[in-house]
Each structure stands twice: as structure tokens, then as C-alpha cells.
């Protein structure tokens, strides 16, 4: 059964939500096509609606056996990829560790609104840290606490030892902390460097830089 995947993403410099399934797809190692919808334009909303009923990117288009369907929402896409590619082990094997990894992913998916707003993803740029609201400081502290606990408990270099969907979900936060020079403890610094050195993160960064240089971001 041959499958064709197409990831519809937003402007790579900005689209934190799109980076998550991109990381999962790259980890699996399957070929996939990409389409990038320019964000923050008058045309953005109508263009996204051509692909997604939610009016949001990312969207994964799956074509196989003469049928096409789409999955929208970054976490739903990652979960779908984990279902379809069990061999890639996108979640930890152990049921308890998997439950905790899911809690990490869900906490990111549903929270940290102040962090998202004040430290919006700008992958290719290095920017001064703005004056942070108390809520943003608390959210940064919570992420550093969560990462530190996981990194200490599950040796292997990623949050739950092996690379997992938890790392995909936090990849945009790694980028944000790098962009704004957020101070982090040494083990977190090592984790961030490992994440930023992944070929997928480097490729995403090259595309984001090209967007910035072309005046698209």
C-alpha cells in the first residue's frame, strides 16, 4: 500500500504548531511533500480553509488506496502518525512512562498561553527578551521544571529517553527559548542543543532563514 503524505504548514519562521508534526514525520523517516501557507496576510484565512475545516494549520493530507483524507491539529496528526508507524516508536513503550509523556504533550497543547503570546516563535531570529508578565515567568518556570524532572528521570538525551511526541510538542519552545535567550539550567541547555542539532530542526531553521531573507517573515 503506497501512501502519500502532504504536510500543509504555516510560514516556518512563525508556525510553532506546524513544527510539531514536521518533527514527527522526519523522525519516522517517510517521504512527505510540503506546502507552506503564508501566515499573517489577508489571504491566510481563505487559503487555509481550502485545506482545513478548522481554518488552522498544520494539516496532514493522507492519500492511499485511491482515497484522500485530512487530519488537522498538531497533536491529532502526531497521534495519527504514531498509530500508523508503530515501528517508529513515537511514544515510550512502557505504559506508565507513555501516560506521563502524553500528559506532558497535552499540557503543552492546552496551556502556556502567556508564553506563546509574549515569546512567539521566530525560529530564525535572535531577539531581546521582552519584559515578562508574572504569568509568563511562571509558565517558563513550569516548563523548565517539567523538562528537568523528565531529563533526570529518563536518561537517553530526550525528555523520555528516546525521542518521542513529547519532544515534538516542545520543539517550538526550544526554539523560543533560543530566540529570546531564556536562561536555563545546564541539563536543559544540553537538551536544547541536542534538539537544535537534529537534522529536522536544522532544515526547518534553514527554511525559516530563507523566509526571513526573502521578506516573507
Question: Closest by alpha carbon to 83, among 165, 169, 181, 163?
Answer: 165
Q: Is 175 in the site for ligand GSH (CB under 6 A)?
A: no
Phi, psi of 58 (to 5 degrees): -80, 160
Taking residue 83's Cβ as centre, other Cβ atoms within 10 Å add up to 9
Helix spans in the chain (H): 16-28, 44-49, 74-84, 95-110, 113-118, 134-153, 165-180, 186-197, 199-213
Q: Is 58 in the site for ligand GSH (CB under 6 A)?
A: yes
Q: How far apart (Å, rounded) are the C-alpha atoms in residues 210 and 217? A: 9
In the bound state with ligand GSH, the residue whose beta carbon lies nearer, of 15 and 164, is 15
Which grid coordinates belong to 28? 519516522
Question: Closest by alpha carbon to 57, among 11, 120, 13?
Answer: 11
In the bound state with ligand GSH, the residue whose beta carbon lies nearer, of 76 and 196, is 76
- Among 56, 85, 125, 142, the residue binding ligand GSH under the rule CB under 6 A is 56
Q: Is 74 in the site for ligand GSH (CB under 6 A)?
A: yes
Taking CB under 6 A as the binding criterion, the range among 10-18, 79-87, 125-133, 173-181 that sits at the site for ligand GSH is 10-18
Binding characters for ligand GSH, 96-115, by CB under 6 A (x = yes): --------------------
Q: Is 172 in the site for ligand GSH (CB under 6 A)?
A: no
Task: Provide, rounded to whole angstroms, the least separation between the CB of residue 77 and ligand GSH.
Answer: 8
Q: Which residues bind ligand GSH (CB under 6 A)?
A: 10, 15-18, 39, 44-45, 48, 56-58, 73-75
Amino acid at each position: 500500500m503506497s501512501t502519500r503524505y502532504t504536510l500543509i504548514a504555516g510560514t516556518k519562521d512563525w508556525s510553532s504548531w506546524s513544527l510539531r508534526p514536521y518533527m514527527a514525520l522526519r523522525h519516522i523517516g517517510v517521504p512527505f511533500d510540503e506546502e507552506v501557507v503564508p501566515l499573517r496576510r489577508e489571504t491566510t484565512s481563505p487559503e487555509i480553509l481550502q485545506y482545513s475545516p478548522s481554518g488552522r494549520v498544520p494539516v496532514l493530507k493522507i492519500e492511499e488506496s485511491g482515497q484522500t483524507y485530512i487530519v488537522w491539529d498538531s497533536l491529532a496528526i502526531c497521534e495519527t502518525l504514531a498509530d500508523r508507524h508503530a515501528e517508529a516508536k513515537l511514544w515510550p513503550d512502557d505504559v506508565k512512562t507513555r501516560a506521563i509523556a502524553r500528559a506532558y504533550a497535552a499540557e503543552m497543547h492546552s496551556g502556556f498561553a502567556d508564553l506563546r503570546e509574549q515569546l512567539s516563535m521566530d525560529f530564525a531570529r535572535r531577539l531581546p527578551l521582552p519584559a515578562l508578565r508574572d504569568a509568563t515567568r511562571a509558565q517558563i518556570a513550569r516548563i523548565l521544571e517539567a523538562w528537568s524532572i523528565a531529563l533526570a528521570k529518563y536518561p537517553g538525551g530526550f525528555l523520555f529517553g528516546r525521542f518521542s511526541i513529547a519532544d515534538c510538542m516542545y520543539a517550538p519552545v526550544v526554539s523560543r527559548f533560543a530566540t529570546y535567550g531564556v536562561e536555563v539550567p545546564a541539563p536543559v541547555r544540553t537538551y536544547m542543543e541536542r534538539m537544535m542539532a537534529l537534522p529536522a530542526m536544522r532544515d526547518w531553521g534553514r527554511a525559516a532563514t530563507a523566509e526571513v531573507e526573502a521578506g516573507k517573515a
